[in-house]
Chain A
Amino acid sequence: MAEVTYREATRIYPGTEQPAVDRLNLTIDDGEFLVLVGPSGSGKSTALRMLAGLEACDEGTIHIGDRDVTLVQPKDRDVAMVFQSYALYPHMSVAQNIGFPLKQQKVPKAEREKQVREAARILDLEEYLDRKPKHLSGGQRQRVAMGRAIVRHPQVFLMDEPLSNLDAKLRVQTRAELADLQARLGVTTVYVTHDQVEAMTMGHRVAILDYGVMQQCDTPGELYRHPENLFVAGFIGSPAMNIIPTDVDGDAVVFGSMRIPMDPAVAAAAAKSGGAGLQIGIRPQGLVLGDEGVPTEVVVVEELGSETFVFADIEHLGERLRIRIRVDADYAVARGDKTHVNVLGPVHVFGTDGLRLKTAEEQAG
């Protein structure tokens, strides 16, 4: 087990100019479960493959523990990887697949079998040891891939979207099992996904990438409550945050017919930029339908059973604007209803550069 450090790590694919991973600085603590998340093309898989040694690090360094592994071959890095396709060897049985890394390490046969059985027991694969991968279900294959990783007791686990080939129900179940397994084994884990729900539920910390640049790395709660910029604000949370262009009116921002007062520090920063190009971000959970607030007309109602999301139009800065609002499941609402939307908060204010303006409290802290 070990700490992993990316220092200014950069990957530029041959024939391209835009780096796939651009000067990544990130330290992953010993035993931590870190999730790399981002849309496709964000460089999250590339960052993982750089740590695996499958992609070269064109600039900067990567350290595992005290060791600089930047130029170390994958087989000598002491990391294990679970691939999206699981990459099981089709000609080998489950037992041979799990035992393959041990065989490469020249572990004696008896010891190897013991460890394979132990891994199979942990992953509930004992009765399938003699089967070939093609005779296994998706979930079982995924567990075999896990088995092949844990049997080695590596310093770091790398997982590249390991759940994306499972159906929705199994994915939720396996998600919890994986998080539990990682906690029990206590091995530093780097996990790549494009699914922000997976990222938020599994990671101790989540690093968000976009166009190869790390946007923010923090605990799921912090990312949700204090997104650093517009990209993080829009990416984290489902449904996405309402991002609304706005104007400044004194110490307040405009939301439809309402004036929402700003924190003094935020107001000062907003005033500095002249008030132009500002945007506010309010989560659907930060809005409420009722008798007070901005007049609105309901357009779409999405009932999820546990809660309901409403898409509604308001009059904002002289234009119609569609916003998302969360309401309780038993709240009676239908398309065409004319009602009001009020702001519960919090309201984030983003400057022209897309960065969130910090409150006085945050600036002090």
Chain B
Amino acid sequence: MTLTARDKQLRGESRWGTAALGIVTWLVAALFFFPIFWMVLNSFKTELDANTTPKLLFEPTLDRWQAVTETIPGLLSFSEAFYNSFLIVIVSTVLVLVLAIPAAYALSIYPIGNWRDALFFFISTKFLPIVAAILPLWIIARELGLLNTHLVLIILYTAMNLPLAVWMLNSFFREVPRELIEAAQMDGTGLYGQIKDVMLPIVAPGVAATALLCFIFAWNEFFLAVQLNPVEGSTVPVWVSTNVTTRGMFMAKLSAASTLAILPVVIAGWVAQKRMIRGLSMGAVK
């Protein structure tokens, strides 16, 4: 909607005030974006350029990109790490949705007496710092023979994201008028049909936003991956960290690895941007 001068006057907006707000917004955005910009820039530099006084003008090189994507026998390679990450993250995200959708549906549409407490219990599992649970987790994983497997991370990432997904989906489902579900019941749908044909198509943006957040959290997870699955079967964040060396300079190479690591999330975020904003703001206005 374009506003006329009178519209703005009516809202108490002055031209200078709007301009100043615009400048502040751009400054804040630049502040957030700068480290990423610098990282991408560094990845095209030589190690020497990256480690000396910051400079904007330099001779770009793909040398570090080549180095970072090279396969060295015995070390976690770029392609393995990406394969592992995609496998673990996608399977865990699908599992989260498969478990969270019925749970959220039950909590929102057929709530039990103390549904608020149940919901709080879900989210309270996130209160414990993961470091406090790592030893028992490690022992359990070892006893079950799950150390250094994909499965251990799939299980843990599913468990890690499940409370958030139930919480989010529950609030999206609550936005759907109860009468729609009742109409579906009257029209002869069973529980499965109510979810598949009525609820999910309506809250699709919310489900997309939830899935994307789960994807991002699982993709970026480092601590569990490095503790429970640090060798060949490991994920992208662990692979990024392998580019940190104790000898020599690694800033440019690390930047190239980090740039690669954030690419899937950026692409997924970009693709889902519109849906995600709609999803996250669902319920903000009627």
Contact = CB atoms under 8 A, between A and B. Distances in A.
B189 interface: yes
Interface string B146-158: 0000000000000
Contact of A83 (B182, B197, B198): B182
Interface string B115-137: 00000000000000000000000
Interface in A80-113: 80-81, 83-85, 87-91, 100-101, 104-105
Nearest to A151: B187
Given A90-B202, A91-B202, A74 B180 contact: no
A89 B198 contact: yes
A115 to B, nearest CB: 14
Given A90-B202, A91-B201, A83 B179 contact: yes
Nearest to B176: A90
A344 B274 CA distance: 71
A166 interface: no
Contacts of A85: 177, 179
A79 B186 CA distance: 7
A52 interface: yes
A148 interface: yes
Contacts of B201: 89, 91
A158 B179 CA distance: 14
B186 A80 contact: yes
Interface string B87-116: 000000000000000000000000000000
A87 B183 CA distance: 6
A89 B185 CA distance: 13
A54 interface: yes
Given A89-B198, A90-B202, A104-B193, A75 B179 contact: no
B188 interface: yes
Contacts of A52: 182, 186
Nearest to A105: B188
Contact of B186 (A81, A88, A91): A81
A101 B187 contact: yes
A100 B189 CA distance: 9
A89 B180 contact: yes
Contact of A101 (B179, B180, B188): B188
B185 A87 contact: no
B54 interface: no
A74 B185 contact: yes
B177 A100 contact: no
A158 B185 CA distance: 14
A91 B205 CA distance: 12
Nearest to A80: B186
Given A87-B177, A89-B180, A91-B202, A104 B189 contact: yes
Given A90-B202, A104-B193, A83 B188 contact: no
B73 interface: no
Nearest to A78: B188
A355 B186 CA distance: 39
Given A52-B182, A74-B185, A100-B187, 16 more contacts: A52-B186, A53-B185, A54-B185, A54-B186, A74-B182, A79-B186, A80-B187, A83-B183, A87-B177, A87-B179, A87-B180, A87-B183, A89-B180, A89-B184, A104-B193, A148-B187
7 contacts: A75-B185, A79-B186, A80-B186, A83-B183, A87-B179, A90-B202, A152-B188
Q: What 8 A-B pairs come out closest when comparing CB atoms?
A: A87-B183, A104-B188, A87-B179, A101-B187, A91-B201, A74-B185, A75-B188, A81-B186
